[in-house]
Amino acid sequence: MPGVHDALSAKIAEKAGVKAVQASGYGLAGSYLAMPDMGILTLTQMVELTRNICRAVDIPVMADGDTGFGNAINLYYAVKEFEAAGAAGINLEDQIFPKRCGHMQGKQIVSCEEGVKKIEAAVAARTDADFIINARTDAIAVYGVDEAIRRGNAYAKAGADLIFVEAPATEEDIKRVIQSIDAPVSINMLYGKKTPAVSIKQLAAWGAARVSVPIASVMVTAYALERLYKHIMEQGEITTIQDISYNFDDFTALLGLPNILELEQKFLDIGELDARYSNTERTSL
């Protein structure tokens, strides 16, 4: 389940054949605020950005609910907001609020008992039984893999559909949490940080139920944009950009221009169409 950072990246993922996407909290913070994932985005902002993504595609979108933006009561209402926005599921983690990226230092987590109550609140809040509660624990970085396994099983017992164990540090830890938690387990792949890079096929062979690739989209986009702007500044021309870019017609088609033109033909009167287009342009749409 690749991560997406906005509606456009979700649409491109769908075009590439991806069957479901993860709205990445880090991706949203990076693209919307140009800030790291430190719990700065508000619930309202996260819901609105997620709604835009859900509207842009026909594939399932998993929301990033962070910690639920407070205690179990805040989380209860957050789940309702994300479900109403069109999400097919939600990540909910046991860090304290405000949280930080799971691969950063300095994480703190709530007690297991509080984490369980928050998952129970999430289950009670959803109205669609198919809305997926993905319970994430960051316990490995704070208390170790045994505590992560204990919490994973506790959250599953509380009603979570999927258990997300963040930042296992070795391949043995990855295999151990998958095999020791009595529920489907999700593993996060973020190259160059705490968890070793393992192929999706290998994770599937070990029994992982879901693999998220959360911020590759925003990092690749940032890298490509930096190269683009440097090229423009250094070369002073754009002729070679076409080799690494959509052309204009293909890009507007990706964004749905043909559908909008069809609606214009259907719902605008002839006078307004003639004011916008020549007869030749109008008949060739």
Q: Tens digits of per-residue pLDDT, 188-225?
A: 998 766 788 899 999 999 999 999 999 999 999 999 99
CATH 3.20.20.60 in the chain is located at 3-220
Percentage of the chain exceeding pLDDT 90 = 81
* Residue predicted with more confidence, 285 or 124: 124
> For domain 3-220, which architecture applies?
Alpha-Beta Barrel (3.20)
Q: What is the CA radius of gyration of the chain?
A: 22
The amino acid present at 198, given as its one-letter code, is V
Q: Which amino acid is at 284?
A: S
Number of alpha carbons in the 13 Å side-chain half-sphere of residue 6: 10
How many CB atoms are located within 10 Å of the residue 3 CB? 28
Cα(138)–Cα(178) distance, integer angstroms: 15
User: d(Cα 42, Cα 45) in Å, to the nearest integer?
Assistant: 5
pLDDT of residue 282: 47
Percentage of residues of the chain with pLDDT beyond 70: 96
pTM of the model: 0.92
Q: How far is CA 217 from the centre of its chain?
A: 10
Residues 54/87, Cβ–Cβ less than 8 Å:
yes
Which run of H or E residues covers position 132?
strand 132-137
Per-residue pLDDT tens for 63-119?
999 999 999 999 999 999 999 999 999 999 999 988 887 677 778 999 999 999 999
Buried b (16+ CB within 10 A) or exposed e, 173-201: bbbbbbebbebbbbbbbbeebbbeebeee
The DSSP result for 237-259, as a single string, is --GGGGGGS--HHHHHHHTTHHH
Separation between Cα atoms, residue 81 and residue 51, nearest integer Å? 10
pLDDT of residue 280: 53
User: How far is CA 26 from each of CA 30, 59, 200, 217, 230, rounded to the nearest angstrom?
Assistant: 6, 21, 21, 11, 25
The span from the first CA to the last CA of the chain, in angstroms, equals: 37
- Neighbouring C-alpha atoms within 13 Å toward the C-beta of 185: 27
The encoded tokens of residue 257 equal 């221009």
Q: How many CA atoms lie within 13 A of 84 on its CB side?
A: 11
Q: Under 8 Å CB-to-CB from 32, ≥6 apart: which residues?
A: 6, 41, 45, 49
Q: Decide if 227 contacts 241 (C-beta within 8 A).
A: no
Q: Tell whether omega for the bond before 168 is within 30 degrees of 0, i.e. cis.
A: no
**C-alpha–C-alpha distance, residues 144 and 10, integer Å:** 34
